[in-house]
Amino acid sequence: MKSRSFFMVGVLLFTFLFSCKKVPEKIISINPSEFTTEQQIKIGNAFREAVNNNPGTFDILKKQEFPQAYQYLTTLFNTMRNTPAIKHRHAYDWSVSIVRNDSVHTAFFLPGGHFYIYTGLLKYLDRESQLLGVIGHELHYADTDILIKKMSSEFGGTTLGDIILDNEVEKLGELAASMPFLSFTEPQVLNADSFAIELICPFQYEPHGLKTILEKESPGESGLLWLITRQANQFFRINQIEQASASCGFPGIGNEANYKKFKEEYLP
């Protein structure tokens, strides 16, 4: 009888202690220093929604209204991103968007593979090889952790953590509007140039597309937003492009005629 009493006391005590055990609280904030592929995709999708829902800042051409422009651009884009050098070529949900603004000359990626390029930059370029150089350069930031770390540094890791946790980010629209103006360091720019040439070399395209863009601008006086935010010593940058492309075939294809038709007939 006594043993039965001890047993009942034990059961009651265990029940009491278990009922008093603190239930883990919901995680309300994180500040990650590293981001998984899945997290980058989630962050990119949130920014993409903010961009696409802000027509006043991002006037994105509708694909059904400009099918030839998108077909032309997407074909060139896929030529670059489907190469073995792109480690996330199968993991990301890659997309291409054209932003209508002839006064803005830049392009940018969102995490997860979402590429945006302005009509201003598209009309500034002269040939396909230049466009491929820009795409290849930008792919370096998107396919590595450079872009997401830059965003974490600029916007705060906690802000990106809130997106991962499905918390509301009140200023997400403002952050998305600043994406075209993110800048990168000179070493990052030089590495991105070399990466672009690595992607282009296996094809028959002119490997000096990036060089010809730089040569259109006066040293240190570029008004091109894409070059301002991807700034490096012009002479050193051109020299590195020449060295990196030394093993590529010359002169290569520029496809000026095709690109002129794209600008004059397919774009608004």
Tokens 């001890």 sit at which residue?
A: 6
Supply the pLDDT for residue 134. 98
Which pLDDT value is given to residue 7? Answer: 42
pLDDT attached to residue 125: 97
Q: How far is CA 166 from CA 39, 179, 238, in A?
A: 11, 21, 44
Q: Which pLDDT does position 220 carry in this prediction? A: 64
Q: Which residue ranges in the chain fall short of pLDDT 70?
A: 1-27, 29, 220-221
The pLDDT assigned to 26 comes to: 60
pLDDT at site 12: 43
Phi and psi at residue 193, to the nearest 5°: -60, -45
In contact, 87 and 48? CB cutoff 8 Å: no
